[in-house]
Amino acid sequence: MTKLAARVASVAGSRTSGARNKARLLSAQGRNVVNFAAGELASLPPTGVLAATSEALSHATNRYTDTAGIPALRDAIAARMSVETGTLVDSDRIVVTNGAKYGLYLTVLAVVEQGDEVLVPAPYWGSLVSQVLLAGGRPVAVDTTENDFRLTRELLERHATDRTKAILVNTPNNPTGAVYPAEDLREIADWAAERDVWLVSDECYSSLVHPPARHVSLLSVAPHVQERLVTVNSFSKSFAVTGWRIGYVHAAPAVVDAMKKMQSHTTSHASSVVQHGLVSAAAGAEDAFRADVLVTLARSRSLVADRLGRIPHLRFRFPDGAFYFFVDCRDALGRSHQGRRITDADVLADMLLEHAAVAVVPGSAFGLDGFFRLSYAIDEKDILLGLDRLEGFFADVR
C-alpha cells in the first residue's frame, strides 16, 4: 500500500472524543453507562435559537455566505466583544469558523512554521497539541500543576527558547476549570510582547464562570498586544449547540486575511443556517438561558464537590469555570481493585468503565497522568448515580 503522509503518524485521534464515543457505544449495546466524559451541556438549545434557526431554513440560506461569515453575525459578535472587553472591536477582525476547534487550527496554521515551538500549559486540551504537530511545529508542555493550573512568567521563561513562536492560553480552562485573574494575564501579555511571540487565547468557556470568580479576556487587560493576540471563542458550550460546529476568531487583519484564504479552500464558510440562527443570541437575546445554565451548573458543582470529598484516594481543586473537575487520583495508583493493579489513570478509566459503568477521561489525554476529568454538565440524576458508583468502586481499592 502506498504510504500515507508523515503528518498523519504524528497525531492520534482525540482522546476526549474517544472516551465519549466509547461510553455511547456501550450505552447503545444496552449497558447503563454514566457518561462523565461528555464535554457538552445536557440541555436543548434556547427556544429562541431553535426558532431563529428554523425560520432561517425557510429563507434564502441555501447559498454560500461570505468566507468570514455573514455580516449580521460578525457585527453582533464585534458589538458584544466591544462591551465585554471595553475595547472597540471591528467586525472586519472577526472570522466565523466551523467550531472553535477549526478556528484554533486555522490560527496555528497561520502563525506556526516548521520547527517553531509553541508553549502549551499542561494539563491542556489535547487538540491544541495535535494541531501544532500537524502544522509542523513543536508543542512544549508547561506543567502548571504546582501553580493552581495557571501559567506564570517564571514558567514561561523556564521553557522558552529562541524557537518559541507562540503561547496558547485557555481560560476558563479545560480540563481543570481554572480561571486566570487579570494580573496573571497582564504578566503573560507583557512577556509575549517582550519576546515578540504570538498569543493565542482560547476563551470558549468564557460565559461559564462561577462567582466570585469572573472571566477576564486577554483583550480587555492587554489591548497593547492585540496585533499579536488571537482570541478564539465558541457558541457551542454556552448555547448547547456543540453539534452545530460554530465558533469565531478575533485577530489582527493579517491573521484574518490568512484565515480567510485557508477557510475559502477548505470549508468555504460555517453553516449558513446556523449563522443566521445565532445572530440574536450573539447580540444577547439569550443571556437568560446562559444565566439559568450557570445556576444549574453551580448546583451540580456543589453536589459533585461534596460527594467527591468523601471518596477515598481522590482529591480535587474546586473549579471556578467551565464544567469539569480534574480529579487527582494519584493516591489510587499502585493499588489494586479486585486483584487488578491500577498502574496509571488510563487503566483506572478502563476499570471504572468495566466495573462501575462510569466513563471519565484519563489525564493522559490532557498531558498529565495521575488525574481524570469528570464533567458535571450531565443530568443531576446521572450525576448522583455516577457518584454512587464511583464511591462503591473506590471503597474496594486497596
Q: What is the pLDDT of residues 341-385, one digit of tens each?
A: 999 999 999 999 999 999 999 999 999 999 999 999 999 999 999
Same domain, 31 and 104: no
Q: Which residue's C-alpha cell is 512568567?
A: 153
Question: Which range has the worst mean pLDDT, 23-37, 179-193, 246-260?
Answer: 23-37
3-state DSSP assignment of residue 13: coil
Residue 49 lies in a domain: no
Q: Which helix (H) or strand (E) holds 96?
A: strand 94-97
pTM, two decimals, is 0.93
CB 251 within 8 A of CB 95: yes
3-state DSSP assignment of residue 333: coil
Q: What is the pLDDT of residues 140-153, one digit of tens each?
A: 999 999 999 999 99
- Of the candidates 48, 169, 63, 57, the residue with the CA atom closest to the CA atom of residue 107: 169
Residue 165 lies in a domain: yes
Residue 56 lies in a domain: no
Same domain, 264 and 299: no
Same domain, 72 and 216: yes
Q: What is the mean pLDDT of residues 118-129?
A: 95
Same domain, 275 and 294: no
Residue 52 lies in a domain: no
- Of the candidates 19, 34, 27, the residue with the CA atom closest to the CA atom of residue 393: 34
The number of distinct structural domains making up the chain is 2
Domain stop point among 282, 313, 340: 282
Same domain, 263 and 340: no
Domain stop point among 282, 306, 322: 282
pLDDT tier at 167, thresholds 50, 70, 90: very high
- Of the candidates 283, 295, 291, the residue with the CA atom closest to the CA atom of residue 52: 283
CA atoms within 13 A on the CB side of 50: 7
CB 114 within 8 A of CB 246: no
Q: What CATH number should be reported for the domain holding residue 130?
A: 3.40.640.10
CA atoms within 13 A on the CB side of 369: 10
Q: Check residue 48 and give its pLDDT.
A: 95
- How many beta carbons lie within 10 A of that of residue 44, not counting itself? 11
